A and B are shown apart, each in its own frame.
Chain A
């Protein structure tokens, strides 16, 4: 049979070599030690302190809320709101680290279930409030509920929609908010512990070079930080800005912003970007490594774009939720989108290639 013969010939032609490596040409610019140093620096200088900050802020919020619910006052409520913002600030600075322990079930949505494109979470929350479901007030049973009933978006609704309802003595909303804050305290503490314990994720990142249960090698660990940069920039651009803006002013939807109820959607973007910039500028970060391999121009270009974006966000004189509906503000928002796109391209097309860390489009599990 002709076909058989052809295939048989092919089989015998091929010498079986099993010395398989995973290096591309551009990667040889960077040594194994340099990858290891980068990963260890980013972990120690940036990731660990920010995870610790989340644990600290969530514990404070839990304490303040339980005190407030026991004896509600107007001043106490203002203090609760301040601590909610501090906790959200801390979370938005951890959000970019989309790898490691936070990715285990149920994923980052345990902190923030957003975007809720189908309105599933909001439906669940409305029903829970209507039913005054007492099982939500117990931390053990709350932990088994849908993430949408125990995350920061749910807490935002409780604190910022009908805020006067929290003032009533012994009200359900306050007790529920307090239970969510306590649950978040536990989640944040567990996440920090998963990173910081002796055999935790920070250690795992640091010893990736030898191959571990979590990383094949040091490049995969360094790649996790590159993926965090790229995926966060994409989420900011597409989910946090483009989607609420709509294609035209008429299509703008302020309620599609991440935290429109507490009017902090622009601040979230600023904090995300601040952390991403720190991955470059913190001691031993991407800029230092780029400079070592002669790519300081790319480092400077990235830092300049981060600065431009942060300056332009700072210059917004009113909340995004308001500006998005105003024609004169449109060009400024379009500029933000364009700069976010340019920054993502710069990191994907220059930085990742400079360092041999190109994120694989097809490398996502389960496709």
Chain B
């Protein structure tokens, strides 16, 4: 019998039941830790590695993973299923052991991202109400099996990444604007009537404090991923219009209006209408945005929105801050790379692996 043919998940006893290590020792690692999802053969894993690219923990996932969110105390992480997936898996960053996966409600699915409240007590997930197609922000009890405590309209269709802002109260939510349904998989159903937006929500009440749109002729620019640093949010976009349009894919927000980063046409064309992941560096002065369709990582001056360089790496997508100002860690194909404006340096390559969309810095 071939037990390796597909994965067998070692799950906990009760749904969401879980005991996490109280005293992390990996946290003392001084050269940094990151975690990303990867595919090995037909199996999916969440893999934690250090600054030398050495694997620290490796956790099998029920299916393809997407966003990885670190708990505020740094001891655990939540892996969200890739949309339209239905699991959220909490893992112990010390041992790599996972709790039983938490499933979305029967009439909902996850959108691949979430975030913790500042004290780690709550976990917020972006979800699809399958019947109405409207976006939902679900508030969950992170200490009680991710039980849903409340749910609020996200203010649009297809909410994707969400971040808790510096005030500890406001959630920034990227409503991608693209309607999909489980029975038609990932097929976009409303490309001619898209209305993507960035929403500021009061996480305590669900009140929409403000909603921001791109200029009207940019309604086919889906707002999907974000990095928040200080008072700035940098947004990675994907364009659903004609491929012959050379469109900016970076938007910046400092509380007033969304502004598109002015992008020279050759660079805009080279990015191929699709940005997959985005992050600020440790200082917040530099933004790195990956364009996997173009095998390109692009760098931007966070203040002015000017492009300051780009590097080529096949199938690059995951990006997270490195250990130094101006440094980023990238994942591309099987590789872990260190990127600065002056070049890319391979750190480690994991055999037979395919790194997935996102990479998150733990410490």
Q: Residues of A with Cβ closer than 8 Å to B?
A: 3-4, 6-7, 10-11, 13-14, 16, 18-22, 24, 103-107, 109, 113, 116, 118, 120-121, 146-148, 211-216, 238, 242, 247-248, 334, 337, 358, 360-367
Please report the C-alpha to C-alpha distance between residue A13 and residue B299 in the assembled complex, in whole angstroms: 13
Within 8 Å by CB of B292, from A16, A103, A107, A362, lies: A362
With A360-B293, A364-B186 known as contacts, the answer to whether A24 contacts B317 (CB < 8 A) is no
Within 8 Å by CB of B340, from A10, A22, A121, A147, lies: A10
Within 8 A of A (CB), among B305-363: 307-310, 314-317, 325-326, 333, 340-342, 354-357
Are B176 and A6 in contact, with the CB atoms below 8 A?
A: no
Within 8 Å by CB of B286, from A7, A18, A21, A214, lies: A7
Are B294 and A22 in contact, with the CB atoms below 8 A?
A: yes
Chain B residues near A6 (CB, 8 Å)? 283, 325-326
Please report the C-alpha to C-alpha distance between residue A212 and residue B267 in the assembled complex, in whole angstroms: 17
Are B354 and A367 in contact, with the CB atoms below 8 A?
A: no
Q: Does B128 contact A (CB under 8 A)?
A: no
Are B270 and A20 in contact, with the CB atoms below 8 A?
A: yes
Are B187 and A3 in contact, with the CB atoms below 8 A?
A: no
Residue of chain B at shortest CB distance from A363: B293
With A7-B285, A22-B294, A366-B222 known as contacts, the answer to whether A147 contacts B184 (CB < 8 A) is yes
Within 8 A of A (CB), among B231-250: 238, 240, 242-244
Please report the C-alpha to C-alpha distance between residue A105 and residue B188 in the assembled complex, in whole angstroms: 6
- Most A Cβ at <10 Å: residue of B3, B285, B356: B285
Chain A residues near B185 (CB, 8 Å)? 107, 109
Q: Please classify the interface of chain B as helix (H, G, I), strand (E, B), loop, or mixed, using the class held by over half of its residues.
A: loop
With A14-B342, A20-B310 known as contacts, the answer to whether A362 contacts B276 (CB < 8 A) is yes
Within 8 Å by CB of A362, from B178, B310, B315, lies: B315
Q: Mark B269-283, 1 if CB is under 8 A from A, else 0.
A: 110101010000101
- Most B Cβ at <10 Å: residue of A121, A213, A216, A366: A366
Are A247 and B222 in contact, with the CB atoms below 8 A?
A: no
Are A3 and B309 in contact, with the CB atoms below 8 A?
A: no
Within 8 Å by CB of A212, from B5, B244, B309, B356, lies: B244
Chain A residues near B281 (CB, 8 Å)? 7
Chain B residues near A337 (CB, 8 Å)? 5
Q: Does B215 contact A (CB under 8 A)?
A: no
Residue of chain A at shortest CB distance from B314: A24
Are B5 and A22 in contact, with the CB atoms below 8 A?
A: no
Shortest distance from the beta carbon of A347 to any chain B beta carbon, whole Å: 15
Q: Does B108 contact A (CB under 8 A)?
A: no
Please report the C-alpha to C-alpha distance between residue A7 and residue B357 in the assembled complex, in whole angstroms: 27
Pairs A–B under 8 Å by Cβ, sample size 15: A4-B283, A7-B325, A10-B340, A16-B308, A18-B270, A106-B184, A109-B185, A146-B183, A147-B184, A247-B2, A247-B5, A247-B8, A361-B39, A362-B315, A363-B274
Please report the C-alpha to C-alpha distance between residue A14 and residue B176 in the assembled complex, in whole angstroms: 33
